[in-house]
Amino acid sequence: MVPEIDMDTPPSTTPQPIIPQQPIEEQQIQHLKSEEIRKSNDNIEQLKVETDKEKKNEQQQQQQQQQQQQQKEQENYGNDEVTEVVLRNVLYVSNKVLTGAQYVGGIFAEILGFGEHKYQDHLDEYNMIQEEKKRKMEKEGKIQSDMENGQSGENSISVSSSETQK
């Protein structure tokens, strides 16, 4: 049923929607269908919420299981026989490498002269001079004691004359 449009009357400023008239039975059926749709939508929403909760619970359980596994792994770390063997071998090899590096470093230090003091030559020369002086003093002391005992010789005279020259 379409309403008739009167051409003699001016149109209104806002057009009025045309609403077809439905019988009451059809309206009730549509209302029931919309109620069913709303209920089914509510059921779908509830199912979504429930599945979301289930997913969250599953994720939490997985996280807890992972944490428990990590704790077990941490507790068992180092207790494994293979780990002990590997660790022992690593320590052995690293000790040998360090010993070899020290040996080679010592050789290079000797070759390049890093093992000696900077002025070691001067110190050695000074010590040698001091030892010679000490020996001379001991000889002179021996010669003087010989002279006091009444033994005379050229050595004692030459030494004593060298003393007077100093």
Q: Is residue 4 domain-resident?
A: no
**What residue spans of 1-23 are helical by DSSP H?**
none
30 and 69 share one domain: yes
In this prediction the pTM is 0.28
pLDDT (0 to 100) of residue 73: 78
Q: How far apart are CA 1 and CA 22, in angstroms?
A: 10
pLDDT (0 to 100) of residue 134: 93
Domain count within the chain: 3
Q: Is residue 5 domain-resident?
A: no
DSSP 21-45: ---HHHHHHHHHHHHHHHHHHHHHH
Q: What are the mean pLDDT values of the chain's consecutive 10-residue runs (166 residues total)?
A: 58 60 74 82 87 91 90 72 88 97 91 78 92 91 74 49 45
Q: Are 120 and 110 in contact (CB under 8 A)?
A: no
Q: How far apart are CA 73 and CA 65, in angstroms?
A: 12
129 and 159 share one domain: yes
pLDDT (0 to 100) of residue 12: 57
131 and 100 share one domain: no
pLDDT (0 to 100) of residue 99: 96
Which range of residues forms the domain containing residue 155?
Answer: 119-166
pLDDT (0 to 100) of residue 129: 96
Q: Is residue 7 domain-resident?
A: no
pLDDT (0 to 100) of residue 142: 79
30 and 56 share one domain: yes
pLDDT (0 to 100) of residue 166: 43
29 and 71 share one domain: yes
Q: Is residue 90 domain-resident?
A: yes
Q: Is residue 17 domain-resident?
A: no
pLDDT (0 to 100) of residue 121: 84
Q: Is residue 12 domain-resident?
A: no
62 and 96 share one domain: no
pLDDT (0 to 100) of residue 92: 97
